[in-house]
């Protein structure tokens, strides 16, 4: 399906099935903006009532700007994510100070709390600016219809979908098209049970014809950054120190390190431990290490866990050490 016919089909669908919402059909940028902020994390049914109440109490951006933060937050109560209300209040003051609503995407983007999506949504609906508003609904519709499996939560994915959505924008009808995409994604091409049977673009839907509806869109699994807590004890005994080679199956395999403790109590070496540094941060891919460094100077040869060897301190440079251990050595007092 050419971009033009996809767009035309969606616009036809919207004319028939578009949702009736109290902020639809208005061209007041303020009312549209308030609706977009409310709907960022809120279901439409709940958002509708809040919008009506909000607009009744603060019918203009000037009224919102003149209100106290307490009053704005009270009206917002129950919607959660209060930073949205605070940012909106601050942005209302920005707008009033500037003498009116910005009429460019760049100007809208400069308002507190306004990101790419909100700027495009408000810009297109209030001023018919040719900007594609790409939210989760739009990602899903485009990924399925065009069979795009580029992960949507990557920079490449964002660019891919934004440029496709921009290409699809009909000249002079950005407002209707953006709303059509939002509504179509929210009511027809839904995440779990899309209405493919009476879908206006089913004939050209790649996901439908390749059996990938539930595989698209694709999200890259972000590996959670794991935190690990290490403690290293540098033992100094008659000019010698204890090292072990790090075992297989973990980071730094084969490198050498002083007495190592992870998630366990510090061992008793028969002498007090001097803390050299605590919470030293060392960042690796997908891991953050937080390390405490200690110095132990026992009077008698301490018993060590298996695997450690005694090394003459001047010979330390002959051993390959992780960078974190080198940082520890830099903190050692002269022996
Ligand atoms: S055919 Fe189904 S999956 Fe494809 S765009 Fe239509 S509703 Fe979405």
Shared-domain flag, residues 202 and 102 = yes
Q: Which of 200, 213, 216 to mutate to test the pocket of ligand 1 (most atoms within 8 A of CB)?
A: 213
* Pair (79, 145) in one structural domain: yes
**Whether residue 163 is found in the same domain as residue 235:** no
Residue nearest (by alpha carbon) to ligand 1 atom 4: 205
Q: Is 320 exposed, middle or buried (0-12, 13-18, 19+ CB in 10 A)?
A: exposed
146 and 281 share one domain:
no
Let me know whether 230 and 178 are in one domain: no
Specify if 95 maps to a domain: yes
Position 144 in a domain = yes
| Domain final residue pick, 215, 249, 272 | 215
User: Looking at the domain assignment, is residue 335 inside a domain?
Assistant: no
- pLDDT score of 287: 87
Whether residue 251 is found in the same domain as residue 324: yes
Q: Give domain status of residue 221, yes or no.
A: no
* Residue 159 belongs to some domain of the structure: yes
DSSP string, 225-289: PEEEEEEEEEE-BTTEEEEEEPPTTSTTTT-EESEEEESSPPP--SSPEEEEEEEEEEEETTEEE
CATH number of the domain bearing residue 88: 1.10.340.30
In the reported structure, the alpha carbon of residue 67 is separated from the centroid of ligand 1 by a whole-number distance in angstroms of: 45
CATH number at residue 268: 3.90.79.10
Looking at the structure, tell me whether residues 101 and 207 fall in a common domain: yes
> What was the pLDDT predicted at 258?
97
207, 212, 215, 216: which to mutate for ligand 1, most atoms within 8 A of CB?
207
Number of structural domains in the chain? 2
- Whether 297 and 169 map to the same domain: the answer is no
Residues 169 and 233 in one domain: no
Domain end call among 191, 215, 239:
215
Q: Give, for all 335 residues of the chain, the pLDDT tens digit.
A: 455 599 999 999 999 999 999 999 888 999 999 999 999 888 888 899 999 999 999 999 999 999 998 899 888 887 877 788 989 999 999 999 999 999 999 999 999 999 999 999 999 999 999 999 999 999 999 999 999 999 999 999 999 999 999 999 999 999 999 999 999 999 999 999 999 999 999 999 999 999 999 999 999 887 677 899 999 999 999 999 999 999 988 888 888 999 999 988 899 999 999 999 999 999 887 789 999 999 999 999 999 999 999 999 999 988 988 989 999 999 999 87
CA–CA separation, 263 and 271 (whole Å) = 21
With tokens 């830099």, the residue in question is: 330
Name, in order, each residue with C-beta under 8 angstroms of 321's C-beta and a sequence gap of 6 or more. Answer: 255, 256, 257, 329
Both 149 and 28 in one domain: the answer is: yes
User: Do 304 and 167 reside in the same domain of the chain?
Assistant: no
> How far is the centre of ligand 1, averaged over its atoms, from the C-alpha of 188 (Å)?
8
Query: Which of ligand 1's atoms lies nearest the C-alpha of 194?
Result: 7
Atom in ligand 1 nearest the alpha carbon of residue 188: 7
Which pLDDT score is estimated for 2? 56
Distance from the alpha carbon of residue 199 to the mean position of ligand 1, in angstroms: 6
Q: Which residue range is the domain that position 283 belongs to?
A: 226-330
Please check whether residue 197 lies inside any domain of the structure: yes
Residue nearest (by alpha carbon) to ligand 1 atom 2: 196
Active site residues: 36
**Domain end (from 188, 215, 242):** 215
Ligand 1 pocket, Cβ-based, cut-off 6 angstroms: 141, 144-145, 188-189, 194-196, 199, 201-202, 205, 207-208, 213
Residue minimizing CA distance to atom 5 of ligand 1: 145
Q: Are residues 64 and 145 in the same domain?
A: yes
């Amino acid at each position: 399906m050419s971009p033009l016919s996809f767009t035309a089909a969606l616009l036809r669908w919207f004319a028939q099935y578009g949702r009736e919402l109290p902020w639809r059909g208005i061209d007041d940028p303020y009312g549209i903006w308030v609706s977009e902020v409310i709907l960022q994390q809120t279901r439409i049914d709940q958002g509708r009532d809040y919008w009506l109440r909000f607009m009744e109490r603060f019918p203009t951006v000037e009224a919102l700007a003149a209100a106290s933060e307490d009053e704005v937050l009270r009206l917002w109560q129950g919607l959660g994510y209060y930073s949205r209300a605070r940012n909106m209040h601050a942005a209302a003051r920005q707008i009033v100070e500037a003498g009116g609503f910005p009429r460019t995407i760049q100007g809208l983007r400069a308002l507190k709390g306004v990101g790419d999506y909100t700027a495009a949504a408000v810009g297109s609906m209030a001023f018919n600016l040719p900007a594609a508003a790409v939210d989760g609904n739009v990602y899903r519709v485009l990924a399925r219809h065009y069979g795009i499996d580029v992960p949507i939560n990557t920079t490449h994915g964002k660019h891919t979908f934004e440029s496709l959505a921009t290409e699809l924008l009909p000249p002079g009808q950005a407002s209707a098209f953006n709303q059509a995409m939002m509504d179509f994604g929210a009511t027809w091409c839904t995440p779990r049970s899309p209405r493919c049977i009476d879908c206006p673009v089913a004939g050209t839907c790649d996901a439908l014809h390749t059996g990938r509806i539930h595989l698209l869109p694709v999200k890259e699994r972000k590996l959670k950054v794991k935190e690990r807590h290490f403690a290293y004890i540098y033992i100094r005994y008659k000019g010698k120190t204890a090292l072990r080679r790090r075992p297989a199956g973990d980071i730094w395999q084969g490198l050498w390190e002083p007495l190592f403790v992870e998630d366990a109590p510090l061992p008793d070496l028969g002498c007090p431990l001097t803390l050299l540094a605590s919470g030293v941060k060392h960042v690796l891919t997908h891991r953050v290490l937080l390390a405490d460094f200690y110095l132990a100077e026992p009077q008698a040869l301490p018993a060590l866990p298996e695997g450690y060897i005694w090394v003459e301190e001047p010979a330390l440079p002959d051993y390959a050490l992780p960078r974190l251990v080198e940082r520890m050595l830099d903190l050692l007092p002269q022996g």
